Amino acid sequence: MDVTVEIAQGRLRGQRVDAVTSFLGIPYAEAPFGPNRFAAPTPPPRWAGVRDAVAYGATAPKVGYRPPTSTILSEPVVPGEECLNLNIWTPDIAETGLPVFVWIHGGAFVNGSNAVPIYDGSAFARDGIVAVVINYRLGADGFARIEGAPANRGLLDQVAALEWVRDNIGAFGGDPGKVTVAGESAGAMSIGTLLSMPRAEGLFCRAILQSGAGHHVISESTAAKVSTALAHAVGVSADVEGFGSVPVDTLVDAQRDLGDRITAEAPTGAWGELAFNAMPFEPYIDGDIVPELPYTRIAKGSGADVDLLVGTTSEEFAFFLVPAGVTQYVDEARLRLALGAYGADVDAAVAAYTALSPNASPGELLIAVMTDWFFRLPALRVVEARGGQAFVYEFTWRSTLYDGNLGACHALEIGFVFDALERSERITGTGPPQKLAEKMHRAWVDFVRDGTPGWTPYGSERSVMMFGEQSGVVDDPRARTRELWSGVR
């Protein structure tokens, strides 16, 4: 059934199916091309008559996933320039004061979109929440340091989307004072940064960070080095005029090639911190939009009034190592080399991780180490640094793919959060447990609604909800490996 709503930009036609009404592809800013390319997001367009909002809008230019990742993650491409758009699912536009859930997608800041099927917000709307899923500029267009352009344009897009929600969500039944911003991977890293950004203050009252926190930015000098290399690759100057002269597809191809080069050269030390971050196009510390390391700002009190739900999966890095067949080539020497590069006490770390998993291979121990360094520890540090009430979880259920070796990998929990297991088998394998999806989705709904997901805050006991075949709270899981990184990560 068609449903029409009026906002400041004009009238929108959505669709109601069963108990959920959706409005798709709503522009929250003008198309970021032509004179708007590499500019801060500009006010959204207006229109006469009724605009259809019944299909996903354009997706931002992106490098795309390659095998084997492309077999695990869906990456739809919707052509068009009006890529700064968002999707809304609501119980009823006639409602008032409903809590709002805004999802920021992941994809290492170079991939992803709000058109990914698993991000359908119907289950949240079914349960009384207005769900919003946004796009933002990716790669060089969103995050490269470009002379003459504002810094961190992708983050400015996210702020513009949240401002649009503040100004318009009431027309869809939502309360702009009850906004929870949530995301996974690069989406969660974005939220960790938004918590520290002056420009994002007051735009949300709760935040859910899945597999990303407050450590994932690079220095301005590293960002400049990446942009210089990209400019050299396409034969232009590293400024608005130079990059603006390069066709979008050509620049995307050059970003993909540069990413491959950085990955290959990173172990030599040629790219500094990118040897650890492995994301050449991500937010960088510019002193204004991103004033300093987000974790540092959070520790100083930024975002202290925002309720937090933070967590990771048990074997995050299996996603990056197992499908590529890397783990079988890892021996103890390579494991020790990685620990040394991360700054750990190598002997103590080997002993701690081996004690935790006595039968694990060096490759499996490396997964545990990299999961802790890149995901688990940054999540815990944000909670520990800010004080106040925060809830922590760990997702432990293991995918059946790759003979079970994919484990509780990165991105696995998203289908459970969205209660969308029917769209998740590319990563879960067959037969994921619906009861776990219902439990996890309900925790997210409860947190969005009233700030309490159903277990005790982290606190002095370091309480963590373990979501798995048997879910329950565990105090200070893997304390020994947490402690050995103290002062390091």
Q: Which residue out of 22, 113, 122, 185 is catalytically annotated? A: 185
Q: What is the DSSP letter of 373?
A: I
| Of 270, 280, 263, 289, the residue nearest 108 (C-alpha) | 280
Q: Which residue out of 410, 413, 441, 471 is catalytically annotated? A: 410
**Is 410 a residue of the active site?**
yes
Place of tokens 């929600």: 165
Q: Which residue out of 30, 316, 364, 413 is catalytically annotated? A: 316
User: 197 by DSSP, 3-state: which?
Assistant: coil
Q: How far apart are CA 425 and CA 422, in angstroms?
A: 7
| Of 153, 179, 196, 480, the residue nearest 349 (C-alpha) | 480
| Of 447, 470, 475, the residue nearest 390 (C-alpha) | 447
Residues 77-97, buried b or exposed e (16+ Cβ, 10 A)? ebeebbbbbbbbbbbbbeeee
Q: How far apart are CA 107 and CA 113, in angstroms?
A: 8
Per the CB < 8 A criterion, the answer to whether 151 and 82 are in contact is no
Q: How far apart are CA 336 and CA 331, in angstroms?
A: 9
Q: How far apart are CA 56 and CA 79, in angstroms?
A: 10
Q: Kind and range of the H or E element at 365?
A: helix 362-371
**Is 185 a residue of the active site?**
yes
Residue 405, CB half-sphere, CA atoms under 13 Å: how many?
Answer: 17
User: 234 by DSSP, 3-state: which?
Assistant: helix
Tell me the two tokens of residue 109: 């800041």
Which residues does the annotation mark as catalytic? 185, 316, 410
